[in-house]
Amino acid sequence: MSEPMTSTEPPRRYVWPWFIAAAVIVAIIIAIFSIRAEANRIRQQRNPQIPDAGEVIF
């Protein structure tokens, strides 16, 4: 009979999926911040009474 194949090597762990996952997460975070900034800009254009975030009101 044939003897069962036993491997002494641990299963191979790939690193590149972690880089892809990190890139996707960073892209999502950048998209969220850019959309929020654009929404604030549009809101400011539609309602000019709202002070700008950088303005100081006395």
8-49: per-residue pLDDT in tens? 888 888 888 999 999 999 999 999 999 999 999 998 888 877
| 25 belongs to a structural domain | yes
Cβ neighbours of residue 52 closer than 8 Å, sequence gap 6 or more:
44
pLDDT at 3 over 80: no
Count structural domains, the chain. 1
User: What is the separation of C-alpha 17 from the centre of its chain, rounded to a whole number of angstroms?
Assistant: 15
| pTM, two decimal places | 0.61
pLDDT at 58 over 60: no
| 8 belongs to a structural domain | no
CA distance 42 to 39: 5
Domain that includes residue 43, residue range: 16-49
| 44 belongs to a structural domain | yes
CA distances in angstroms from 44 to 7, 12, 14, 39, 53, listed in the order given: 64, 53, 47, 9, 10
pLDDT at 1 over 60: no
